[in-house]
């Protein structure tokens, strides 16, 4: 079971048009998934990569050209989206509203 913890999680390849239709939160989740991909194949000849078409459907490693393209497209789409506050920013906004109500 320890071996499954270190295997990269495949990320499906999505067209730019589909990225543009996705909700900002979904795009941020996709960004997290892309960043969690392994840098490179840990085991040469990984069985998952040897399946016909496996590499064409998913992104598993950051050294794949598909990863670089997917991440660049994702950044382009996110750059024109509204800002989604992170946990710390939401906390600061809540605290500010609470201070104003006092």
**Domain around 25:** 2-101
Provide the β-strand partners of residue 11: 59
How many domains are contained in the chain?
1
Instruction: Name the residue with tokens 């900002």.
Output: 24
- State if pTM tops 0.75: no
CA distances (Å), origin 73, targets 13, 40, 47, 80, 95: 11, 21, 28, 12, 36
Distance of CA 91 to the CA centre of its chain: 24
DSSP bridge pairs for 12: 58
Q: Which residues of 3-34 are buried (b: 16+ CB within 10 A; e: fewer)?
A: eeeeebebbeebeeeebeebeeeebbebeeeb
Q: Where are the alpha helices (DSSP H) in the chain?
A: 2-6, 16-21, 24-35, 47-50, 54-57, 65-79, 87-101
| Sequential pLDDT tens for the chain (102 residues) | 444 455 657 999 999 999 999 999 999 999 999 999 999 876 555 555 545 555 568 999 999 999 999 999 999 999 999 888 889 999 999 999 999 988
């Amino acid at each position: 079971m320890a071996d499954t913890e270190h295997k990269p999680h495949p990320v499906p390849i999505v067209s730019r048009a589909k990225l543009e239709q996705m909700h900002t939160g979904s795009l941020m989740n996709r960004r997290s998934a892309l960043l969690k991909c392994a840098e490179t194949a840990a085991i040469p000849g990984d069985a998952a990569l040897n399946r016909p078409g496996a590499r064409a459907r998913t992104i598993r490693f950051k050294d794949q050209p598909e990863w670089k393209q997917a991440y660049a497209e994702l950044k382009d789409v996110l750059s024109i989206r509204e800002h989604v506050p992170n946990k710390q920013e939401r906390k600061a906004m809540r605290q500010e509203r609470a201070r104003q109500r006092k």
